[in-house]
């Protein structure tokens, strides 16, 4: 990996909380409080989807339907990467942060001068390109507590110093040799960095993972298919629909061991409710693509834990609710 600093001119869980010391809990809460403050400031865009709710809405009105025609180019910036750019930049203070598609270069740009403050080149494994189903995109970076968090296509999670670009920690979350890649943007809540995984098209068994935002140590990981103990279903799980009630449905509703290749990866965005302390996320397509291999009778195509919306407790990740859409059947009623 390479880190380049400079100003060169460029164009343009409850029990876990109790285990933490009081100072640690306070510091973690301060990080979330900082984001809650920043997301209310429309002069900044400190979260990928603007706020924890993912509204992507700004109340700024200086540019409107009447004067938008008068906009002109002030400066431009080329990332040097000729693939799909799907990660929106962040603006924190007077700095813009962005990450490119593979090879996932991170840039920090001074918005006053359009000069590059620094750039970081993680140099991910090129073999990951062959495991990416739908272009080598990246959905962006996240900011919290003077750190930047992002994923690389080859399954690495990074924490960088937002002021210098230096690496604080790095964690391995996915293995491209097994079809798993990473394209989503992390969610930072208190002292946890929540990430998903891509690769449902190649039989990857989907999961979400939480890492300590300060050390990079894995806090927990829960799968979206399989036995209850690996999915995070405990006594706190209160399903409303009858089809969601029962033990180990993530195994029994799949033919044989197909749940081990069940897909249901998490490659998009997370949202978070600070009052309920719950994370919300959606899952992708089931594995395999061919539905006849998942269930012979189309009337029973109901592989538990596939395409749907999930809700988990932030600290320990225990699953609280889920709403599932089976491919071939209508979604459960809202």
Q: Is 85 within 8 Å of 101 (Cβ atoms)? A: yes
Rounded mean pLDDT, 239-265: 90
Q: Read off the pLDDT band of 312 (50, 70, 90).
A: low
Q: Read off the pLDDT band of 9 (50, 70, 90).
A: very low
SS (H, E, C) the chain: CEEEECCCECCCCHHHHHHCCHHHHHHHHHHHHHHHHHCCCCCCECCCCCCCCCCCCCCCCCCCCCCHHHCCCCCCCCCCCCCCCCCCCEEECCEEEEECCCCCCEEEEECCCCEEEEEEECCCCHHHHHHCCCCCCCCCCEEECCEEEEECCCCEEEEEECCCCCEEEEEECCCHHHCCECCCCCEEECCEEEECEECHHHCCECEEEEEECCCCCEEEEEECCCCHHHHCCCCCCCCCCHHHCCCCHHHHCCCCCHHHHCECCECCCEEEECCCCEEEEEECCECCCCHHHHCCCHHHCCCCCCCEEEEEECCCCCEEEEEECCCCCCCCCC
End-to-end CA distance of the chain: give it in Å, rounded.
46
Q: What pLDDT shows up at residue 89?
A: 97
Q: Read off the pLDDT band of 256 (50, 70, 90).
A: confident
Residue 333 has pLDDT above 90, yes or no: no
Q: Tell me the average pLDDT of the chain.
A: 84
Residue 176 has pLDDT above 60, yes or no: yes
pLDDT digits (tens, 9 = 90+) for 92-128: 999 999 999 999 999 999 999 999 999 999 999 999 9
User: pTM for the whole thing?
Assistant: 0.84
Q: What pLDDT shows up at residue 30?
A: 75
Q: Is 153 within 8 Å of 160 (Cβ atoms)? A: no
Q: Read off the pLDDT band of 6 (50, 70, 90).
A: very low
pLDDT digits (tens, 9 = 90+) for 279-311: 999 998 888 767 666 555 443 434 454 545 555
Please give the residue that has the higher pLDDT: either 134 or 50: 50
pLDDT above 70 covers what percent of the chain? Answer: 78
pLDDT above 90 covers what percent of the chain? Answer: 68
Q: What pLDDT shows up at residue 109?
A: 98
Q: Read off the pLDDT band of 318 (50, 70, 90).
A: low
Dihedral sign, Cα of residue 199, residue 203, residue 205, residue 211: negative
Residue 21 has pLDDT above 60, yes or no: no
pLDDT digits (tens, 9 = 90+) for 23-45: 344 555 677 899 999 999 999 99
Residue 144 has pLDDT above 60, yes or no: yes
Please give the residue that has the higher pLDDT: either 78 or 253: 78
Q: Which domains does the chain have, with CATH numbers?
A: 2-54+82-324 (2.140.10.10)
How many whole angstroms separate alpha carbon 126 and alpha carbon 30? 38
Lowest-pLDDT range of 120-129, 150-159, 245-254, 293-302: 293-302
pLDDT digits (tens, 9 = 90+) for 42-62: 999 999 999 999 999 999 999
């Amino acid at each position: 990996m390479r880190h380049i600093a400079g100003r060169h001119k460029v164009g343009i869980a409850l029990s876990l909380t109790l285990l933490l010391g009081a100072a640690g809990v306070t510091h973690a809460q301060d990080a979330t409080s900082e984001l809650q403050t920043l997301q209310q400031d429309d002069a900044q865009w400190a979260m990928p989807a603007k706020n924890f709710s993912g509204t992507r809405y700004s109340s700024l009105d200086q540019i409107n339907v009447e004067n938008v025609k008068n906009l002109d180019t002030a400066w431009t910036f080329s990332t040097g990467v000729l693939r799909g750019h799907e990660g929106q930049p962040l603006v924190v203070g007077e700095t813009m942060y962005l990450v490119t598609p593979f090879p996932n270069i991170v840039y920090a740009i001074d918005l006053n001068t359009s000069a590059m403050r620094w750039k970081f080149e993680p140099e991910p494994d090129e073999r990951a390109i062959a495991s990416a189903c739908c272009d080598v995109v990246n959905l962006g970076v996240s900011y919290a507590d003077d750190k930047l968090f992002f994923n690389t296509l080859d399954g690495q999670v990074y924490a960088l110093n937002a002021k210098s670009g230096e690496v604080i920690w790095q964690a391995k979350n996915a293995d491209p040799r097994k079809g798993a890649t990473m394209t989503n943007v992390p969610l930072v809540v208190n002292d946890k960095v929540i990430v998903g995984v891509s690769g449902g098209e190649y039989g990857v068994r989907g999961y979400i993972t939480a890492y300590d935002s300060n050390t990079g140590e894995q806090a927990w990981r829960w799968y979206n298919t399989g036995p209850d103990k690996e999915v995070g279903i405990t006594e706190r799980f209160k399903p409303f629909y009858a089809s969601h009630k029962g033990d180990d449905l993530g195994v029994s509703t799949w033919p044989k061991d197909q749940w081990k290749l069940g897909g249901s990866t998490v490659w998009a965005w997370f949202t978070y409710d600070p009052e309920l302390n719950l994370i919300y996320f959606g899952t992708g397509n089931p594995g395999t693509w061919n539905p006849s291999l998942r269930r012979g009778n189309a009337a029973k195509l109901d592989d538990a834990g596939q395409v749907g919306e999930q809700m988990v407790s932030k600290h320990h990740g225990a699953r609280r609710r889920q709403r599932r859409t089976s491919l071939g059947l209508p979604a459960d009623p809202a």
